[in-house]
Structure 1
Amino acid sequence: MFARSLRETELFDHADTFGITVGEAFNEAFALLRQTGLRNEYVYRSALTHNLLLGKHSLRTACMLNEFRIGSCKADLIILNGTGTVYEIKSERDSLNRLQNQITNYRKAFGKIYVIAGSEHIDDVLKTTESTIGVLSLARWNRISTIREAEEVLDFICPVTIFESLRINEAKIIASDLGIKIPDLPNTQMHGFLKEAFSGLPPISVYNLMLKTLKESRSLLSLRELILNLPKSLQPAALSIQLRSKDHERLINTMRLPLNEALLWE
């Protein structure tokens, strides 16, 4: 499938494949995708990953969540360090129709929200969002510009919304840390018990413990060696797709293969 897909792109002719690895081919394809007018959500996700998670922070000090459900929406990307920051992507291919509803939902679980958008969306995002919502612009060459800083707002934190976003084991840890005795119940009943318990817990305490718990339970530190050995274009994908540990070395070795050899795959 890889060989057929690459041939269909016509990105390389036969002469171009000598001396190039599979990993370098992915980087070449991504460079084309990064051109203004072609940029999709993955280009924005890559910029956030490299500029923030792997640039400003690290896998030791921060955690990243992808497509994290909050209420009736899924947040594109969340970075957890001292606080929880949502990054909502609005690429050139997206509309802003759902943005207000998304922000309303995200406010219930996280303190900071940024919208990162292409230049054609920036004015509309600024006009239609309140001043506490941060706005970022993705310029050329993967550069992120801050148009408006986000302010942390915790007034709308909802413990039940947070509970619905968590795994049961994560919810148990938070409830237990806040003095709730966890009974021995089947999962069907445990969900109802925990939801009721969360409804009576202090919002800010739940929020702070959520950050602590998720940083531990969703840590990406085990992927550090994989990330260091992958082409830059694939690092965001490796951080968002669950890959078995035993497949890490196989993937790394595949990226190092000559491209002309990979093109012979059936």
Structure 2
Amino acid sequence: MLNPTQLSALSRMFSSSVISEIAKKGQSPLFSRLLSEASLFEFYDADNVTIGDAFDTAFSLLRRSGLRNEYVYRSALIRNVLLGRHSLRTASMLTEFRIGSSKADMVILNGCGTVYEIKSDRDSLARLESQIENYRKAFSKIYVIAGTAHIQDILEKTSEDVGVMSLVRWNRISIVREAKENTDYICTATIFDSLRLSEAIDILNELNIDIPYLPNTLMRNAIRGIFTKLNPIDVQNCMIKTLKRTRNLAPLSTLIANLPSALQSIALMVQLRSKDRDRLVETLNKPLNEAFKWV
């Protein structure tokens, strides 16, 4: 049975700071400290086990029912939906995507855009209604994915058009209620506020709308004003097309193929330079005893 310190250490191993540090420096003192705090790998022959193997073992413990954190849910969605139904060539993904006053845990962009809100067994449902209210303003399909303990409450708290998924096992998702497309609440101002200015300008170009020639200090407010007058469905369709291009994940295909399965999800969430990707793969293939030298 894991104690709170061990559980916290295991969860933090899958943070962007750890992966970025390994990728940029070829070592991570933070990972070494977490490895020690987890107290799970002392029995290994550190010469014959790789650093990547250590991540796989940590993930195998985190994905047990009752311990599943948000990363386990993200990994299940990426495995089953992004890489299962689609591919990095045909779909893209956004994480922690700002929509109104909320951040969507995950948005998968294919022909349409679908928001996935994660509620692990340890999460509260207190903000769920306001989160869904925000997500409706940018995307027409929403799913809430949760542990079995939350499913009934979520079904009761959400309307029939909001889909509900259950993480039955760490790698198997069951659809409890299908999401239905609902474009009634799409808000062009909310969409604009979620985008980079360059993406908003690309959308106007796609819609054949003239771009005002203004100083940078005035441009954002001017473009926002134009967005508020546009057809919401047209803007949403162009937003999905634009984001699939600007947030394209296809260049990461080679990296994903060379990573331990436990790290494929975090690699899609962290921006790394090409040389850092190579360093990450190289370091993960080193013996685990190398990590004990990083402290």
Same fold at TM > 0.5: yes
Give, as a single letter, the amino acid of the residue that structure 2 aligns with 1:219.
Answer: N
Find the counterpart in structure 2 of residue 255 from structure 1.
284
Letter in 1 for 2:258: N
Partner of 2:202: 173
AA aligned opposite 1:128: K
Whole-Å separation in 2 of the counterparts to 1:193 and 1:221: 33
2:160 corresponding residue in structure 1? 131
1:226–1:128 Cα change, 3 Å? same
> SS of the counterpart of 2:185?
coil
CA contact (8 A) 1:114 1:135 kept: yes
Q: Does 1:196 align with 2:214?
A: no
1:5 aligns with 2:34: yes
Secondary structure at the counterpart of residue 56 of structure 1: coil
Q: TM-score, normalised by structure 1?
A: 0.97
Q: Which residue of 1 aligns with 2:107?
A: 78
From 59, 63, 86, give the equivalent of 1:34: 63
Equivalent runs, 1:180-191 vs 2, <5 Å? 180-191=209-220
Gaps of 5+ in 2: 1-28
Superposition deviation, residue 260 in structure 1: 2.1
- Contact 1:180/1:197 (<8 A) preserved: no
1:200-256 C-alpha deviation (Å, 9 max, x unpaired)? 111111011001000001101111111111111111111111112220100000110
Q: Which amino acid aligns with 2:153?
A: D
Give the structure-2-normalised TM-score. Answer: 0.88
Map 1:1-266 onto structure 2 (within 5 A).
1=29, 2-266=31-295
1:209 counterpart letter in structure 2: C
- In structure 2, relative to structure 1, the CA distance for the partners of 1:260 and 1:147 (3 Å cut) is same
Aligned with 2:218: secondary structure? Answer: helix
CA distance in 2, matches of 1:33, 1:89: 16
Provide the C-alpha distance between the structure 1 equivalents of 2:291 and 2:225, rounded to a whole number of angstroms. 55
- Partner Cα distance (1:90, 1:54) in 2: 21
Compared CA separation, residues 141 and 89, structure 1 to 2 (3 A):
closer
SS of equivalent residue, structure 1 residue 17: coil
2-side partners of 1:225 and 1:72: how far apart?
35
What amino acid maps onto 2:122 in structure 1? R
Percent identity, aligned pairs only, is: 60
| 1:44 maps to amino acid | Y
Q: How many pairs are equivalent? A: 266
Q: CA deviation at 1:15?
A: 4.0
Aligned Cα RMSD in Å?
A: 1.1
- What secondary structure is seen at the aligned counterpart in 2 of 1:240? coil
SS of aligned partner of 2:271: coil
Shift, 1:116, TM fit: 0.2
Cα distance in 2 for partners of 1:231, 1:20 equals 13
Contact 2:73 2:170 in 1 (8 A): no
**Conserved 8 A contact 1:22-1:255:** yes
Q: Counterpart of 1:120 in 2: which secondary structure?
A: coil
| Alpha-carbon distance in 2 for matches of 1:99, 1:8 | 33
